[in-house]
Amino acid sequence: SCYSCHAGYGLFNATFAKPFPHTVSMAKDYGKNQINLDEMIQLCMLAPMEAKTLPWGSRELAAPTAYVTEFQKPFIARGGAAKKMNPCAAKKMNPCGG
């Protein structure tokens, strides 16, 4: 899940406080200077999650896109001032196996 890397607003850069499309470091690694939110979700599905992408135009993709839009609002309200967090430090789920 997204929580594996983003627990407690972890691993978001200050650009997460900007509306999509915007620059995302991870997307630059794949040749995209600007990325839309639905594209970012698909990239997360492929890269860190090593899963299949969701069908374009589907409810399965619309749901996390809508969720992240709402999730982003408090981050924007804080001006992007969230602590960067190591995903291995998450208490409920440790993707690093520790």
**pLDDT tens readout for residues 13-68:** 788 888 899 999 889 999 999 999 999 999 999 988 899 999 999 999 999 999 98
Contact 93, 7 (CB under 8 A): yes
Q: Within a 10 A sphere around the Cβ of 79, how many other Cβ atoms?
A: 9
Contact 25, 13 (CB under 8 A): yes
pTM given for the model: 0.73
Structure tokens at 3: 């929580």
**pLDDT (0 to 100) of residue 90:** 42
